[in-house]
Amino acid sequence: MKSLTLAFFLSVLFTPSIGQDTQYVRQIIDSLCSPVYHGRGYVKRGDSEAINFMMRELRKLNGSARLGVITFEMQANTFPGALSVELNNNVLSTGEDFIIDPISGGAHGEFTAVYFKTKWAKSEEELFAQIANGRFEGKVVVFDEGAKNSNYAQLISDVRQDPLKAAGYMILTEKTLTWSVSNSFLQIPILSVRKEAYKKKIKRVTLNIDQEYLTNHRTANLMATIPGTDTAGKKMRVYTAHLDHLGRMGSEVYIAGANDNASGAAMLLDIYKYYLQIPPEFEVRFIWFSGEEAGLVGSQYFVDNSPIDLSKIGFLMNLDLMGDAGKGVTAVNGKVLEEHFAKLSSINMEMGLVEQVKARGPAANSDHHPFHEKGVPCFFIYTMGDYNHYHDINDVPENLPLTNYSEVFKLIVEFMEIGI
């Protein structure tokens, strides 16, 4: 294997601010997770405001930064206003006691609660009889996720199809409440409620849920370029990360997304800063995507309408969930690009960086995937550690350890230098 580049080696030893600027990265994460960006979601144009923030930061680092904004439209179901749930006049805490299913519709008023009995799920005939006699009409049906009955469990899985023709559904759960984004919606609300939040029998459910479906939400991907000093015969490197997150769950609560993916977005900015100080021979592109949480919308739009020749990409490195590498990192596509993965692993061993570098097969779980389908060689790197907040209200900067951040930075940059 080619030995470590002198420039990078010197930067590791003698220039701690290059590639090891954890304080700078924390400042960026703090900013991206602040209320002014509304969780970088689609309510109050939080995603667009985050893009504007990144453009300002890039121009602070480089007054003549070469930037490109690629706009597109998308759909998303949102909850921009009131979002409250009361059980027997007891108010639940949004995001902590309950979450609204992202596909839900709005609802306003008081509803009678009816607990679904396991005997009603024993046969289709029994279930249809209960529906026919109006058992669930105009009511909120309550399911216990812990019930040990396969037909009952299947009904819970099918609530998004409104199998009981009810006014809404409530699922009592012991699981961690995690949220997501939907690009479609129902006419009824679906709630997940922690069992510990309210232990008494629920008789009345009072809902005040404002919902808005965005049919033509305008957003954008952001691209920055660092030209190479000697690009002849060298393919470009591309770094990507999604900038958007889940945004607001009602007017009072937002999901900050410190690990997902303020961490990756901030690392891209730090890598950009590194290349400004140590200019590469090859051309480097940086792309911050929007619409990832709604189904890789921004990255799919990019590859379908690419402003760059995808065949000229030597390697693409997608960074997502970069906040805790206490147990190492995983490379999605590592089992496909075996030679590249062997180089990544060898660099890690030679430099003594993180505990392990683990390989996974292909997965459509982040913005690398549309590029992978177009034949672009790419990894999706995510960190492994004890940090377990994902798509919940506790994924905030003060909880994010950034364990082994500098080591992961060195691994990625060195691989993109010599591993291609």
**Which among 75, 78, 74, 395 is positioned nearest to 247, based on CA atoms?**
78
Domain boundary assignment for the chain: 6-78+214-418, 83-209
- CA distances to 386, 393, 396, 400 from 390, rounded to whole Å, are 12, 8, 10, 11
Token look-up 């990192």 returns 329
Q: Which pLDDT score is estimated for 10?
A: 41
pLDDT band at 267 (very low <50, low <70, confident <90, very high): very high
147: how many CB neighbours lie within 10 A of its CB? 17
Choices 3.90.950.10, 3.40.50.720, 1.20.1300.10, 3.40.630.10: CATH for 6-78+214-418? 3.40.630.10
Name the strand (E) or helix (H) holding 216: strand 212-226
Q: Which pLDDT score is estimated for 148?
A: 82
pLDDT band at 4 (very low <50, low <70, confident <90, very high): very low
In this predicted structure, the answer to whether residue 38 has a pLDDT above a threshold of 90 is yes
Q: Which pLDDT score is estimated for 40?
A: 98
Secondary structure (DSSP) of 4-59: PPHHHHHHHHH-TTSS--HHHHHHHHHHHTSGGGGGGSSGGGHHHHHHHHHHHHHH
**Which among 292, 222, 217 is positioned nearest to 260, based on CA atoms?**
292
pLDDT band at 419 (very low <50, low <70, confident <90, very high): confident
- Region 292-306: mean pLDDT is 98
Average pLDDT across the chain, whole number: 94
* Cβ atoms of 292 and 370 closer than 8 Å: no
Q: Which pLDDT score is estimated for 19?
A: 54
In this predicted structure, the answer to whether residue 8 has a pLDDT above a threshold of 90 is no
* Cβ atoms of 287 and 240 closer than 8 Å: yes
Q: Which pLDDT score is estimated for 420?
A: 82
Q: Which amino acid is at 346?
A: S
pLDDT tens for 385-417 read 999 999 999 999 999 999 999 999 999 999 999
What's the topology of domain 83-209? Glucose Oxidase; domain 1 (3.50.30)
In this predicted structure, the answer to whether residue 14 has a pLDDT above a threshold of 60 is no
Q: Which pLDDT score is estimated for 6?
A: 44
* Cβ atoms of 217 and 73 closer than 8 Å: yes
| CA dihedral of 384, 388, 394, 397, whole degrees rounded to 10 | -20
* Cβ atoms of 387 and 399 closer than 8 Å: yes
d(C-alpha 191, C-alpha 104), whole Å: 8
In this predicted structure, the answer to whether residue 16 has a pLDDT above a threshold of 80 is no
- CA distances to 54, 192, 202 from 152, rounded to whole Å, are 48, 16, 19
pLDDT tens for 46-85 read 999 999 999 999 999 999 999 999 999 999 999 999 999 9
Lowest mean pLDDT among 20-24, 196-200, 254-258: 20-24
Token look-up 């969780």 returns 39
pLDDT band at 18 (very low <50, low <70, confident <90, very high): very low
pLDDT band at 147 (very low <50, low <70, confident <90, very high): confident
